Amino acid sequence: MPLRNKVAIVTGGNSGIGQAIVLALAGQGAKIVIDYIVDEQAVEGLEAEIAKLGGQAIGVDADVSKPAEIQKLVDAAVQAFGRLDIMVNNAGVETRSSILDTTEAQYDRVMDVNLKSAFFGTQIAAKQMIGQGGGGRIINITSVHEDWPMPGNTPYCLSKGGMRMLNRTAGVELGPHGVSVVGVGPGAVATPINASTMNNPGLLAKLDAAIPLGRMARPEEIATLVAFLAGDGASYLTATTIFADGGLMQSSVGL
């Protein structure tokens, strides 16, 4: 198993892409800390599923919009498993609101959960990795919308654009310490965050038609990429984003 003896944290790890990432990393031998703020039963189910596979995982209730709660996640990883090798900043929300109708509260929530958590998740994880020695991998789940406009979802695009420069700048700063920082930019993925599209046959057909591969991604397809980036095969990647969008960015204006 390529990630045997590695320890990973996955924020927002009990649903959607995060859940798939947890299972992919555990399937390759990593010990996992699953961050969540709701649905503890889902976390318990994941822990049980991983245990049946011979792996180890613990759930930690932490609000990653607060740096102290991110520190709690890192401390839990070190206490339970002795170190931290892989940090996946995956937690994210959106408001589907435009520049004209976004409230301050909506703006703050999206920026705190998406960008602030990734910034301090990167910082706090990197400090742990540097202190313990041996380097590490930080993987930030961004979006095609770090580079590709989505009218009517402005705060989300702004947060993901910020993550683009976080990956680039932190990757340069942390490279000399042996810590790589890479973004994964999914396109449309069949997860609860896209429920409004998936539940509307007309919108779904329009979206599928705009994707050269003809369909939304499965969460497992994004998770497989994250697992690759956590392993030795991605040892020379940093300060960049890998897009997994089925070709969407090259074929259509924002939907």
Q: Over the stretch 186-202, which tens digit does the pLDDT of each residue have? A: 999 999 878 888 999 99
Return the CATH architecture of domain 7-243.
Answer: 3-Layer(aba) Sandwich (3.40)
Catalytic residue among 36, 107, 156, 236: 156
Domain ranges of the chain: 7-243
**What distance in Å separates the CA atoms of residue 211 and residue 22, rounded to the nearest whole number?**
27
Structure confidence at residue 132 as a pLDDT band (50, 70, 90) = very high
Torsion of CA 235, 240, 243, 249, to 10 degrees: -160
Q: Phi and psi of 7, rounded to 5°? A: -120, 130
156 is catalytic: yes
- Cα–Cα distances in Å, from 237 out to 58, 153, 181? 29, 30, 8
Q: Phi and psi of 27, rounded to 5°? A: -65, -20
**What distance in Å separates the CA atoms of residue 137 and residue 73, rounded to the nearest whole number?**
16
What is the value of pTM for the model shown? 0.96
Tens of pLDDT, residues 96-129:
999 999 999 999 999 999 999 999 999 999 999 9
